Structure 1
């Protein structure tokens, strides 16, 4: 068991010590990495022979039990049944042992468990031999069952006993073999106390929306809510609930860049934290000011219990944490897969496990049985602002702040008087996108295809996302030029390849007031204004913007949404390098001005003016300039055909006399999948 880590970054979010609401201060805290639970299996548990396992039973004060002929016959029959059914190859057994089979284009069956910790196994080769693990557990079950039958009373087992360490495995194997519930005749004190304290009756998934102002939270966050009450008031349910949070066990001393690299590459371990749910909810709703959606899972009481037993088995494991594949969201799917062998939820997302896609996947498999919306403190303040504006009143900053008391339990409850914001991830478009378009640039015609691994830009359908959300990654566009032009040697061109790009808007005239900013890392094709012929070239580009924004118009009635239109002004700084451009580099500074207009639910428009001033360095080549303005105007329009398809029109003009292809227009079909 590891010591308490008071600085742990959430999957796609950052942890800070949480303030405890005064009204909830009496709640007990269960911190599985701080409390004393079960010690590791004794070293002799790493042996595989029947004699070695029998010796462990003797060491557990059961030496008075002697194997009878009937015991031996039963064990032989059960082993034959296991072999006939090949239970050690059963999907559930492999999942209980953490054999993580991969999905994707070429599915791969894991040859060994992902867990290297010896205490996770009863046998020396358990990481690679599920059959040996099953046989060792079978011997433990039958031995204790025979002892309990002889004593005719429940027997108490030590915490490091196989049945106390691995209750999910033992219950599953006993059920498969028709042995009944061994836990009616044995007691495991720490396990029983842990289960009684949590008293899990229902599991729910909490989804905290994307939060761009904290890059580690940019892709949202999910955790499991453990409900001990399924009836009564929402307040009572929240008060008595716990959160199960799988996160990265990060180092507080690392700066953000190092932290991100270690999180992505698996250098950090994961950590499972179980704490009172109100504390977690307070962080997202009141501190980060993120709206939260909660989804009740359609699991039976037996499935909930089995998941909790499996959490007991795995909660202290130190497994590598990978930001994209082994994170807060993947753990939820893995736990559900343990009790639903017919599903392979985790294999459905083989390349990246994104919280929003997990929610959609649960819905697709009919695993959601109810949902609720908890507005953030910022959304509640905006709702008051909207109401006051509709009534012709004005609320100052102090009045808004006093109206929302962050220490009040009511701020953690769903608000039936407030219409839910249009940010339910179940209503959003799929995150992957492919496009095909035709266009004309400087008189030359072309066809262009594109792909985006995720996520969303401001011309995409906004339903299901935080307002004004703009984040994309792993995008590429390839252009096929017409052959009857002067570009025969460049028929196929990479137009753009984006690693990451995004903008965070916090309009000054809203409850989200603050700085607005943007950043992009990409390779992009640009026109070289230093060149007398203004030819285009592919360059690597790194850009950053910062400024202000305003929300305009009338917000949706009864909601805490901001006004639907957006205008902004951002100062920009950009550096670009490429062999084709003058001097091989250029740096620029300027201003980006723009507005987005939501015409209706299906139609959106966008206009932007970029005013960069570029510098290449002094040039000694005749006709080449070392610095210049290169203004660009851009227009965009998108119409949504349905949730999965849209038509987009884009046009731009570069106000620079040297540019070879200063005018461009394109129409494209976009398919979200």
Structure 2
């Protein structure tokens, strides 16, 4: 079943049986043609009633109400005054509605007096149900007064048949820039689907960049250029996409909403179908828009405007802090790979060896060799492995070997078919804060120094991995400022964006590793005190290795990467040095400690510049998930330093 986008209009025929979609273009045409700033009802009594309502709006300053500001997504700044985050004209009934809350409210009240026409679903009251519900309540208008029938809205609500609302978090997906922070959306539980929640619907917010290359996609997501929209989809489609295709765990949190708040939620989500926004990865993203929806539903300030970067983890922390989540534990839906990983880890050593022999036979398209001793344990996990390969499009769903395994499974004892219980991971809201401040003191080749570091987001390889991926790094706007003795403060390091995925390679996942670093750093030229800032770019690709399926002590994670290094400064030959680069990285964690060794070498003499190397040893001690002590030793050509620092994450 395809997903149905609100702005393509309301849900599709398949989603809502015989309900015929009404193109959104008709809404837009209506908004462009019929702004209501000067509309007057024909009858004198209605004109008098309108005059009384408009007078009450001005006398009470109702248009300054916090709920009205949230409904229309108004923000106020010193320079431009009010402006709405919504960029689509079809959301406004006044020609000045994007920048004037009063005129938009007056136009909305005028809309109460529009004469009924043949297509009532084009009426403002049917397009913006929550807006008009609230206006009736605030202006004490009788429910039956100026109330019309909205057939399409009613059919939509009947088909959703809402019982519960859940906030769903899809874990990090490092292969897609838009999902580096994870993803959040709402799940609408249907009263008729209590035993089959996969048939429920989800509503989420995402960018619509179209066909575009990855680099432009990242830059557009950071600096703007995409339109974001809400869309509705069957929940099982997201299970297939996230759990199976992208190997992402799902966490479901039931929200604490009463009946009125559920009604407000449905009405506001319906009218969000007319809204388009400017999309940004770091802030005006899925988490931000869902937080704004919940502010409308709960009529509270969830501090959506207080952070320069708002991530899905931040959203989860906020809904827990404000008591919006019910006390019952979240529902955990492990990914297909996570389930396989658990099954392989629970195997005995000889079973694991036989499994990888069989997995190789599957990949080589050979017949699978099983024996009676391992049949009971391996058949279920080999079936899951077939499904995993199918999601990777490495095997066809018509493979006869798959069906023979299914036949063999049917003859196994019932207890042999049961998968091992998967230990629930640390929930994502238990992760450390995404922002960081640190204070450090060190000694370098040119003297002692004090260092202050600030990071807007998100996680590095030494941070406590609780609720995160331990072999990942996602840093945005990381800035280090130092003051050496008898010198002015200087910016020594700036990471505009730094991404690393060092997931171990194994016969099942066959994952690769990569590192991307875009920013600047201060380096020594010719002698230690000749320090200058250089622009820096690292692009590396390779593999990482670990005892991923071992229950015992692991030797850590070893990564071998190769790629390109490029740096810019006017003192380099031709203003730039570049060349191939190799990197070794080692991570080892035990209890509260984590150790990292990293060595890189760039052959930049090909650009008629000196070659470059960097060697670093780092040790982290976690006082708490949000408090760390670090000890670091780093060497570059003609320069070395030691640093001890305190890290605070919030």
TM-score (norm 1): 0.78
Matched, 1:374 2:333: yes
Matched, 1:472 2:467: no
Matched, 1:134 2:105: yes
Counterpart selection for 1:603 from 583, 589, 593: 593
After superposition, where does 1:523-602 map in structure 2 within 5 Å? 523-528=520-525, 531=526, 535-552=530-547, 565-581=556-572, 584-600=575-591, 602=592
| Structure-2 residue corresponding to 1:495 | 492
| Structure-1 residue corresponding to 2:343 | 384
Structure 1 residues 79 and 390: CA distance shift in structure 2, 3 A:
farther
| Structure-2 residue corresponding to 1:458 | 461
| Structure-2 residue corresponding to 1:671 | 648
| CA apart distance, 1:324 | 2.8
Looking at structure 1, the residues matched to 420 and 331 of structure 2 have their Cα atoms a distance apart, in angstroms, of: 10
Matched, 1:421 2:378: no
Higher RCO (CA 8 Å, separation ≥ 6 residues): 1
| Structure-2 residue corresponding to 1:615 | 605
| Structure-2 residue corresponding to 1:311 | 269
Q: Deviations over 1:121-180 (max 9, x none)?
A: 334443444334434444554788xx9xxxxxxx99712223222211111111223334
| Structure-2 residue corresponding to 1:636 | 618
Structure 1 residues 579 and 162: CA distance shift in structure 2, 3 A:
closer
- What SS does the aligned partner of 1:337 have? helix
Structure 1 residues 431 and 390: CA distance shift in structure 2, 3 A:
farther
| Structure-2 residue corresponding to 1:442 | 445
Looking at structure 2, the residues matched to 431 and 31 of structure 1 have their Cα atoms a distance apart, in angstroms, of: 46
Counterpart selection for 1:348 from 276, 292, 306: 306
| Structure-1 residue corresponding to 2:416 | none
After superposition, where does 1:201-280 map in structure 2 within 5 Å? 201-229=163-191, 232-233=194-195, 236-239=196-199, 241-252=200-211, 254-280=212-238
Contact kept, 8 Å, 1:437 with 1:449, in 2: the verdict is: yes
| Structure-1 residue corresponding to 2:26 | 39
After superposition, where does 1:388-427 map in structure 2 within 5 Å? 388-389=347-348, 393-394=352-353, 395-396=355-356, 397=359, 398=362, 400-403=381-384, 405=387, 417-422=421-426, 424-427=427-430
Looking at structure 1, the residues matched to 647 and 256 of structure 2 have their Cα atoms a distance apart, in angstroms, of: 34
Q: Deviations over 1:174-213 (max 9, x none)?
A: 1223334349963111111122122233322221122222
Looking at structure 2, the residues matched to 635 and 482 of structure 1 have their Cα atoms a distance apart, in angstroms, of: 24
Structure 1 residues 305 and 668: CA distance shift in structure 2, 3 A:
same
Looking at structure 1, the residues matched to 173 and 237 of structure 2 have their Cα atoms a distance apart, in angstroms, of: 19
Q: Deviations over 1:532-552 (max 9, x none)?
A: 779543221111222211123
Looking at structure 1, the residues matched to 576 and 139 of structure 2 have their Cα atoms a distance apart, in angstroms, of: 71
| CA apart distance, 1:315 | 0.6
Contact kept, 8 Å, 1:523 with 1:539, in 2: the verdict is: yes
Structure 1 residues 114 and 284: CA distance shift in structure 2, 3 A:
same
Structure 1 residues 264 and 35: CA distance shift in structure 2, 3 A:
farther
Unaligned runs of 5+ in 1: 9-25, 56-65, 148-154, 409-414, 484-489, 619-625
Looking at structure 2, the residues matched to 353 and 101 of structure 1 have their Cα atoms a distance apart, in angstroms, of: 19
| CA apart distance, 1:386 | 0.3
Looking at structure 2, the residues matched to 142 and 565 of structure 1 have their Cα atoms a distance apart, in angstroms, of: 70
* Number of residue-to-residue matches in the alignment: 588
Structure 1 residues 298 and 110: CA distance shift in structure 2, 3 A:
farther
Looking at structure 2, the residues matched to 449 and 156 of structure 1 have their Cα atoms a distance apart, in angstroms, of: 66
Looking at structure 2, the residues matched to 380 and 520 of structure 1 have their Cα atoms a distance apart, in angstroms, of: 33
Contact kept, 8 Å, 1:205 with 1:223, in 2: the verdict is: yes
TM-score (norm 2): 0.81
Looking at structure 2, the residues matched to 365 and 33 of structure 1 have their Cα atoms a distance apart, in angstroms, of: 40
Contact kept, 8 Å, 1:588 with 1:612, in 2: the verdict is: yes
Of 379-388 and 577-586, deviating more is: 577-586
Matched, 1:172 2:134: yes
Looking at structure 2, the residues matched to 556 and 305 of structure 1 have their Cα atoms a distance apart, in angstroms, of: 49
Looking at structure 1, the residues matched to 339 and 555 of structure 2 have their Cα atoms a distance apart, in angstroms, of: 17
| Structure-2 residue corresponding to 1:152 | none
Looking at structure 2, the residues matched to 553 and 139 of structure 1 have their Cα atoms a distance apart, in angstroms, of: 65
| Structure-2 residue corresponding to 1:660 | 638
Matched, 1:363 2:320: yes
Counterpart selection for 1:507 from 465, 481, 504: 504
Looking at structure 2, the residues matched to 434 and 32 of structure 1 have their Cα atoms a distance apart, in angstroms, of: 54
Counterpart selection for 1:294 from 252, 274, 286: 252
| CA apart distance, 1:428 | 0.9
Unaligned runs of 5+ in 2: 363-377, 392-418
| CA apart distance, 1:36 | 4.1
Looking at structure 2, the residues matched to 564 and 298 of structure 1 have their Cα atoms a distance apart, in angstroms, of: 44
| CA apart distance, 1:90 | 0.8
